[in-house]
Copies of this chain bind each other. A is one copy, B any other.
Amino acid sequence: MTVNRQWRLKKRPVGDVAPGDLELVSSPVPVPGPGQALVRNIYLSLDPTNRIWMSDMDQYMPPVEIGDVMRGGTIGVVEASNNPDLKPGDIVQPMDLGWQDYVVTAAAQKLVVTPQTPILAYMSALGMTGVTAYFGLLDIGKPKPGETVVVSAAAGAVGSIVGQIAKIKGCRVVGLAGSDDKCRWVVDDLGFDACINYRKENVLEALRRECPKGIDVYFENVGGEILDAVLTLINLEARIPLCGLISTYNADGPVPGPYMFRNVLMKRALIKGFIVIDYFPRIGEFMQDMPGWIASGKVKWRVDVEQGLENAPTALQKLFTGGNTGKLVVQISPEP
C-alpha cells in the first residue's frame, strides 16, 4: 500500500453514529522521523468509549477534535524504524492511537506473540479488555467466595472476562446478555452459573430468581433499567464497579440516573467509576494472574473480527445494537 487511509471525525454525532459523521481520507504513508517507527496497523479495537470520544461531553480524556483522526487502540507490525527499540517485524501496540492504516510513533509496547498468546489475545483477555475486567472486579468489586456477582453485557468484551474471574474467586456469577445464543455461550463455555436474556425476560424478576441471596457485586457496563433492577436487589455493603453506561451514550438529551438511587444509601453501597488507565501502574499484578488463567483454560476469550478499515464505523454500531459476542475488532491488514 502506498496510501494511508484515516477515518477523521467530520462532525459530532447526534444519537447514533451516522454516515457522514466520520470521513475516510487518504494521504501518503508517513515517513518515520528520528527515533520513530512506521507501524502498519493490523487490528483496531472498537469500544463503547469510542462514542464518548466523538462527543464533546465532559469526559475522562479530551474529546477527538473535528478534523482529527478518530482515536482507537491498534496492534500492528513495525515496517521501518529509526528507533533501536522497535525493529521491523516487531508486533507492537503504538501509543499513538488511531483508526488508520499506518502510524508513525516513537513509543510502542512490544508484544510477546506465541501460540498460546496470539496477537488477538492482546486485543482481548491479555489486553486493555482484560486489565479493565481484572481491576474493576478485584480492586473495586472485591468479590468474596460465596458472594453473588452480577455482570451486565456479559457476552461483551469486558463482561465475559469479569464473570470468569469471579468464578475463579468462588462466586455465584449471573450474567445479563441480549440473546439466547449469547447466554448459552456465557453459561456453557465460560462457566457462568446463569445468564438472563434481558430482551426476553423481566430483568427484576429474573434477577430475583437467579440471585436468591441478593447481589453483592454488580459489574456495570450498561446503566439504565438494568442498573435499577440490580439496585433493587443489592445486599448491604454491595460494591458496584462502574465501567460503562453504554445504554446512555447515544442519548441526545439528559438521561435520568437510576430511580433506585436511594438504595445506595439504604444498603450502604459503594459505586466507583474507573478507567483502565488508572491501573497501568499496577499492571504487574494482572500479568501475574492472567497469562496463567488463559493457559489453564480458566479464562477463555473470543473476538468478533470485522474485515476492513473502511467498515469500522458500521462495525462500531454492533456494540450499541448488541451485534457482537466477545471483543469487537476490525482487521485492517493481514497478520505477518
Spell out A's residues near B (CB within 8 Å). 52, 57-60, 223, 232, 236, 242-245, 248, 254-275, 278
Interface centre among A256, A261, A262 (most CB of B within 10 A): A262
Chain B residues positioned under 8 Å from A268 (CB to CB): 60, 272-275, 278
Q: Closest CB-CB distance, A282 to chain B, in whole Å?
A: 15
Chain B residues positioned under 8 Å from A263 (CB to CB): 58
Interface centre among A236, A257, A269 (most CB of B within 10 A): A257
Q: Closest CB-CB distance, A20 to chain B, in whole Å?
A: 26
Q: Closest CB-CB distance, A36 to chain B, in whole Å?
A: 31
Chain B residues positioned under 8 Å from A261 (CB to CB): 223, 245, 255, 257-258, 261
6 contacts between A and B (CB under 8 A): A60-B265, A223-B262, A242-B265, A255-B259, A256-B257, A270-B270
- Give the distance in Å from the alpha carbon of A57 to the alpha carbon of B262 in the complex: 10
Asked whether B259 lies within 8 Å of A244 as measured between CB atoms, the reply is no
- Give the distance in Å from the alpha carbon of A245 to the alpha carbon of B266 in the complex: 10
Chain B residues positioned under 8 Å from A272 (CB to CB): 264, 268-271
Chain copies in the assembly?
Answer: 2
Chain B residues positioned under 8 Å from A278 (CB to CB): 268
**Nearest B residue to A61 by beta-carbon distance?**
B266
- Give the distance in Å from the alpha carbon of A70 to the alpha carbon of B248 in the complex: 42
- Report if A259-B270 is in contact (Cβ < 8 Å); known contacts: A242-B265, A264-B242, A265-B244: no
- Report if A266-B59 is in contact (Cβ < 8 Å); known contacts: A256-B256, A257-B261, A258-B257: yes
Q: Closest CB-CB distance, A102 to chain B, in whole Å?
A: 31
Beyond known contacts A257-B257, A270-B271: 19 more, CB 8 A cutoff = A52-B266, A58-B263, A59-B266, A60-B236, A223-B262, A242-B265, A254-B259, A255-B262, A256-B256, A257-B258, A257-B259, A258-B261, A264-B271, A264-B272, A264-B273, A265-B273, A270-B270, A270-B272, A270-B273
